[in-house]
């Protein structure tokens, strides 16, 4: 659930899939809390998992947010289950266009 499941071409992220953004914090624990909450896990499980993400997740998230430039925003996205297998995660939005993704799950 935590690490990116697959790579996703940012051009495949449709505007109607964007939700919960722009994120007010780019801290990995905040982002993982958002992602895990959307998965439907109980709050106590979300808190336990999000507060201690594995080092791999921390480094992948750091590489993802390192792509940000001034004016960019990070949004949570979720595709419908019949499109892209219900992928969900985060997209860097630059001038209204997704330019990078960090996939956290597939349904």
Q: Rounded to an integer, what distance in angstroms lies between the CA atom of residue 105 and that of residue 24?
A: 21
Q: What are phi and psi of 36, to 5 degrees?
A: -65, -35
Give the chain's domain count: 1
On whether the CB atoms of residues 88 and 78 are closer than 8 A, the answer is yes
Please give the structure tokens belonging to residue 22.
């722009």
* Per-residue pLDDT tens over the stretch 3-32: 444 578 899 999 999 998 899 999 998 998
Residue 26 lies in a domain: yes
Residue 2 lies in a domain: no
Residue 55 lies in a domain: yes
| pTM for the predicted model, two decimal places | 0.86
* Per-residue pLDDT tens over the stretch 72-100: 999 999 998 777 778 889 999 999 999 99
Domain that holds residue 45: 10-105
Beta-bridge partner residues of 103: 89
Pairing of strands 18-19, 88-94: unpaired
Residue 4 lies in a domain: no
């Amino acid at each position: 659930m935590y690490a990116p499941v697959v790579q996703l071409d940012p051009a495949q992220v449709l505007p109607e899939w964007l939700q919960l953004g722009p994120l007010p914090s780019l801290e990995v624990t905040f982002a993982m809390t958002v992602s895990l909450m959307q998965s439907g896990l109980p709050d106590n499980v979300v808190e336990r998992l999000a507060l201690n993400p594995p080092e791999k997740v921390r480094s992948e998230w750091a590489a993802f947010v390192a792509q940000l430039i001034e004016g960019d925003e990070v949004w949570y996205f979720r595709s419908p289950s019949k499109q892209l297998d219900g992928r969900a995660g985060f997209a860097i939005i630059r001038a209204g266009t997704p330019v990078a993704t960090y996939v956290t799950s597939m349904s």
